Amino acid sequence: MKQYTVDAFTDKLFSGNPAAVCIMDSFPADSLMQGIAAENNLSETAFAVKEGEHYHIRWFTPASEIDFCGHATLAAAYVLFSFYEKNSESIGFVGQRGSFSVSYRNGLIEMDFPVYSLEHAEITDLMIEALGTIPLAAYRDRDLLFVLRDEDEVRGLQPDMALLSQLDAACVAVTAKGSGYDCVSRVFAPKYGIAEDPVTGSTHCMIAPYWSRRLGKETLTAFQASKRTGELFCTVRGDRVLIAGRAALFSISEIML
């Protein structure tokens, strides 16, 4: 089985978020895909199978399957545009959260996703203890989004991972207005065996709508301030958000099954 490793949301190696990608004729057993993801020990490994005019895509963390992943989708689209669908400008995908399209234009891979809701969440003592600070506001969907005071607080945050894993959320994100970018964020997913996710496309389905409303602008530049860092270019249009980024191919390998 051929496997590609791609750094997503970056144009240079050793930054962005690395994802493994396998393009197959049919899905193997779930246990095998989970085993491959655990062996890779990356935030996500994506598996994609062409079904008619679209690709069915699934994402696995080292610990379990996840319902949606942005950076591994970008990585999978990069592989497909580069090696499998060289003459295509757009690729349709179907995942657990429904269908969406990915396009390649102006040097960016652009993913068309549904926005997450921004339901106000009550700030609890557990949240404060887990974060190590009192957030200005909290919002809930699949993920939890906390608004902090400024970029320095986002960058300097040292949350308690054991306590974060007790929160009712797939990912826990913190964000603030950025300097040089419209917004800055960090994302943690200890429930899925990921302490800090380097760059998180899916959570920007929540971060981008928040800052779009807050700043009164449709198009945003976003920076994820993990150790590896990453850039996202977001456009909010009603109930959809376009999340775009670049990618860099790290390796092509053969899984010996």
For residues 232 and 219, the answer to whether their CB atoms sit within 8 Å is no
Q: Do 125 and 234 reside in the same domain of the chain?
A: yes
Closest CA to 45 of 61, 64, 32, 66: 61
Active site residues: 44
pLDDT digits (tens, 9 = 90+) for 23-78: 999 999 999 999 999 999 999 999 999 999 999 999 999 999 999 999 999 999 99
Q: Do 168 and 99 reside in the same domain of the chain?
A: no
Q: How far apart are CA 191 and CA 169, in angstroms?
A: 8
Q: Do 103 and 144 reside in the same domain of the chain?
A: no
Q: Do 158 and 93 reside in the same domain of the chain?
A: no
Average pLDDT over residues 79-93: 97
Q: Do 10 and 105 reside in the same domain of the chain?
A: yes
Domain of residue 185, CATH code: 3.10.310.10
Q: Specify the pLDDT at position 153.
A: 98
Both tokens of 152, joined, read 């320095």
Q: Specify the pLDDT at position 74.
A: 98
Q: Specify the pLDDT at position 193.
A: 87
Q: Specify the pLDDT at position 132.
A: 98
Q: Specify the pLDDT at position 213.
A: 97
Q: Specify the pLDDT at position 203.
A: 97
Q: Specify the pLDDT at position 202.
A: 96
Q: Do 166 and 218 reside in the same domain of the chain?
A: yes
Q: Do 80 and 187 reside in the same domain of the chain?
A: no
Average pLDDT over residues 223-250: 98
Q: Do 83 and 14 reside in the same domain of the chain?
A: yes
Q: What is the dihedral angle through the alpha carbons of 146, 151, 153, 159, rounded to the nearest 10 degrees?
A: 50
Which domain covers residue 205, as residue numbers? Answer: 119-238
For residues 197 and 167, the answer to whether their CB atoms sit within 8 Å is no
Average pLDDT over residues 150-156: 98
Q: Is the pLDDT of residue 220 over 90?
A: yes
By residue count, the chain amounts to 257
Both tokens of 15, joined, read 């930054």
**DSSP 3-state assignment of 26?**
coil
Burial of 56 (0-12, 13-18, 19+ CB in 10 A): middle
Name 93's bridge partners. 55, 100
pLDDT digits (tens, 9 = 90+) for 165-207: 999 999 999 999 999 999 999 999 999 889 999 999 999 999 9
Average pLDDT over residues 249-257: 96
Q: Specify the pLDDT at position 26.
A: 97
Q: Do 83 and 188 reside in the same domain of the chain?
A: no
- For residue 106, what pLDDT band results from cuts at 50, 70 and 90? confident
Q: Do 58 and 145 reside in the same domain of the chain?
A: no
Q: Specify the pLDDT at position 174.
A: 98
Q: What angle do CA 83, 229, 217 make, to 5 degrees?
A: 90
| Count of structural domains within the chain | 2
For residues 118 and 210, the answer to whether their CB atoms sit within 8 Å is yes
Q: Do 109 and 28 reside in the same domain of the chain?
A: yes
Q: Do 141 and 104 reside in the same domain of the chain?
A: no
Burial of 118 (0-12, 13-18, 19+ CB in 10 A): middle
Q: Specify the pLDDT at position 257.
A: 86
